[in-house]
Amino acid sequence: MKVPCIIPRLGALLLALASGAALAQAPYPTKPVTIVVPFSAGGGVDAMARVLAEKLRTVLGQPVVVENKGGGSGMIGAQAVVKAPADGYTLLMGSAGETAINPYVYKSRMQYAPQTDLLPVSLIVKVPNVVVVNPKLPYKTIDELIAYARANPGKVRYGTSGVGNPQHLSGELMARQAGVQLTHVPYRGASNQLLDVIGGNIEMTFVSLAGARQFIKDGKVRTLGITSPGNSPLAPAIPAISDSATLKGYTLENWFGLFAPRGTPAPVITRLNAAVAEALKDPKLDARLRDLGGNPNPASPDQFKAFIQQESARFARIVEDAKITPES
């Protein structure tokens, strides 16, 4: 009778456990860290990732590199991070779209599950959008816009930077909460949206404050409201949409945060979260993020996770009510 040889198996198990413990306890980081931005260079997520990376280099004592992997509504870059080694050296600068909205819009097309395949590290910023219109149009407030849309069903066209993103959901939420019909027109990039508002090809657009700032300053567009809950410190002169008589309580913001692949050791997540919190205490970084249209909101991993779950549930209701699909 042969006796099973368990010694080699036991040795292999102990070696694996020791390796995992060593990884969790090893100084972090000891080499460059890569932050993947799931969009092309030059956009809001990219700009904020780069200014954050610059500060994190000092805090972490290692190079922090930003790598753009655009395409697929942010899903290509996110999936690349999901497949990366879970060692804290490949991170995702994710937005609400690819981490909390896309599962409800793209469903079976998704090749990863954000809430299980990505570990929340820290919320970085909340990013409200503003509603802008051509200054020649008759409505000067959100309530006047809603009244016009109610009297002219479907004639108010609103531009966004794509199907199923927070701008699109902002328009659908507005339409349903006010009981009006708005027509969605998706674009590729904020500049084209704004140019078409100025040219009269569409009536309004939802766009980031940073994207619209120069157009607002030059008087080429009229700002009706901001999607943050209450007047935003980013633009205190712009009224909150939630203050209007017809859209009480209305709010919908994009947000950017840092994520790591599932399985990343808890001590590494803790170190990264502390590094982000320390970085965001820098007044220069804070000011730069605000200039880019973001309101810094650091959070613990557990707080960020709870926030994502709450936001995801709300986004799911909007997508379902509006019947948003990739072809919308």
| Cα–Cα dist 38/92, whole Å | 8
Per-chain mean pLDDT for the chain: 91
Claim: this prediction has a pTM higher than 0.75: yes
**Domain 31-127+254-322 shares a fold with domain 129-243:** yes
Cα 242 → chain centroid: 21
CATH for the stretch 129-243 = 3.40.190.10
Residue 236: DSSP 8-state: T
Domain ranges (residues) in the chain: 31-127+254-322, 129-243
Between 6 and 156, residue with greater pLDDT: 156
Cα separations in angstroms, 27 against 147, 271, 311: 60, 10, 34
Give the model's confidence band at 171: pLDDT under 50 very low, under 70 low, under 90 confident, else very high: very high
Give the model's confidence band at 26: pLDDT under 50 very low, under 70 low, under 90 confident, else very high: low
Quick check: 23 pLDDT over 70?
Answer: no
DSSP 5-54: --HHHHHHHHHHHHHHHHHHHS-S-SS-EEEEESS-TTSHHHHHHHHHHH
Q: Determine which of 2-11, 59-68, 205-214 has the lowest per-residue pLDDT on average.
A: 2-11
| Cα–Cα dist 70/187, whole Å | 16
pLDDT, residue 25, reads 56
pLDDT, residue 303, reads 98
**Domain 31-127+254-322: which CATH number of 3.40.1350.10, 3.40.440.10, 3.40.50.11750, 3.40.190.150:** 3.40.190.150
Quick check: 328 pLDDT over 90?
Answer: no
pLDDT, residue 293, reads 93
Cβ-contact 69, 77 below 8 angstroms: yes
| Cα–Cα dist 232/128, whole Å | 8
pLDDT, residue 27, reads 87
| pLDDT per position as a tens digit, 78-115 | 999 999 999 999 999 999 999 999 999 999 889 999 99
pLDDT, residue 30, reads 97
| pLDDT per position as a tens digit, 200-251 | 999 999 999 888 989 999 999 999 999 999 878 888 899 999 999 999 999 9
Q: What is the mean pLDDT of residues 59-69?
A: 97
